[in-house]
Structure 1
Amino acid sequence: MLNALWTPVTAGDLALPHRLAMAPMTRDRSTPEGVPTEMNAEYYAQRASHAVIITEGTQPSPDGQGYLLTPGLHTEEQTAGWRKVVDAVHAAGGRIVVQLMHAGRIAHPDNTPHGRQPVAPSAVRPAGTMFTASGPREMPEPRALSTGEVAATVEDFRRAAAAAVAAGADGVEIHGANGYLVHQFLSANTNLRTDRYGGSLHGRIRFAVEVAAAVADEIGAGRTGFRVSPGNPHNDIREDDTRALYEALVPELARLDLAYLHLLHGDDEDLLDTLRGLWPGALFLNRPDADLPTRARDIADGRADVVTVGRAALANPDLVERVRSGAPLNTPDPATFYGGGAAGYTDYPPYAA
């Protein structure tokens, strides 16, 4: 069954040598100014044998930052930092796509360069706390973006995508999942707007489609991916109309002829099959807790074209080689997932045969 992982596949302009890709994972190890470092370059280059690396979420603007020490793509210094990362991955024979993530209301002013109130579709405070330099803090009520500011945020994504390609990246993935800004527009519990970006299903999907269209226009549809997580309640999202929502969104994205749709799957197998049928291009599938035979079966059965792996890729820089050879896997250390230095980041050992 694992043989299904090792055939080449094309996703838009991405020619991939096999089907096992690295999922995006926040690691909180950039500089306070959001600039990727030499250590970040080493981390990604170590994992270059994956079919493609999808990077950690990268803010397209100062307002897009939610967490400490996450990278950005809205200054020249940040673009130069990403160029080091991309060059290192390419030198190691890999391919890399930068994920653009605007955190929206999942933020705290203490974590941003300007200290301003977070922004969101509507002024709805999320439940929970945000880790800051001074410890966990309640997330404040966000400020609702004006109609004009929503359109300006679309342009922030466009500019960040251009910066990613200027840094040499093979493409961009738009983060429309996990309760961050794009997902906040999609969900009725976080989007209470009455302008053209709210109300009906068509209104709530408008921002997501406009962002995808702007990025595709700027860097080419064949370099643009889009991530969704239907039914995912993460970050205080409550979707009461999941099936109708994604049955409306996915065909609109499909009309843009994007390189791929990246689906973070929950437990609704019927919805997965429905969305597979609505998406004519390459489908990247992430089943967070599935074993590799299950992931390979998704490819063999036509449910997915590429499977993305998170924690196993984090802990095994040579995951592809280990899976091919049947070698045992390193165990990831959750205590070092977020923040810190090389420990739990670049020091996971490759397998010694």
Structure 2
Amino acid sequence: MPQMSMIEAIRDAMDVKMAEDPNVLTFGEDVGYFGGVFRCTAGLQEKHGLHRCFDTPISEGGIIGIAIGMAANGLRPVAEIQFADYIYPAYDQIASEAARLRYRSNGDFSAPITIRTPVGGGIFGGPTHSQSPESLFTHIAGLKTIIPSNPYDAKGLLISAIESDDPVLFLEPKRLYNGPFDGDHETPSVSWKGHELGEVPSGRYTVELGKARTVSEGSDITIIAYGTMVWVAEAVAQNLGISADIIDLRSLVPLDIDAIEASVKKTGRCVILHEATRTSGFGAELMSLVQERCFYHLEAPIQRVTGWDTPYPHAQEWAYFPGQKRVTAAVRTALEAA
């Protein structure tokens, strides 16, 4: 089975769908000739032609507006927003047009649009290249929000997203593009050798949208994470030597609440991780759902480890991340509670 980085897996997913379906095309800033700033579309223009992989002006609202028109007329556009930080000028197009098109037209039109964009920090990009705005989009009815944590899932989820008849926001953790970090420069006690690449099948395969992945099974505690934080959760569980249910959500909307509920009812303890800021972050929604569904099974208060409630820092980037030290403290608090 081929070994791929997440960048290669994402590129392969688009290549597979573009070869299979002439209605699939991709575009965005620097997507064509240059192959994207992270090289996710490298070679696609040369292989599939200028009309199916091309550059656009620096106009995020225009990129998504064009994608909506294409989708309403039978195409399956994959639009790239160069960084998630740039997506806000397109917010109205996504929230008011793409997400509502099927409903407002009573099913006469649909919006099979996939919007790819890199999220999170890890490249010292500062406050305008490092944001994690997922919770702003999970609030929008009619929009699916996906975030992979490894190359295999990235390819399978992206193919599923392209084949979906509703709009999908596909968030790509840039720290994982070329392999995971341990999430904490201060305690890099877990070696990631061998994780830079993942086994990714050739050709078409799908990973179901709305289905979480159980990374490890255990009885002591449930750790819920997505994207980069999945790797931090694994490192903490390994270092502490605990028996942990680690759940990689993969899909925020639709959410696999059944997997979460079953795990927390089994372990009685829950820690939730995400890189985005704390207030109104997606972790708050997860806490509410766990509390509603698992209250009588909880043996300890739910713990949440997140980014700070500040504009994204530059010089303090690695302190901002929920690294092993902060996650370890939360896990110990949950385990030691009476």
Normalized against structure 2, the TM-score is what?
0.30
Normalized against structure 1, the TM-score is what?
0.29
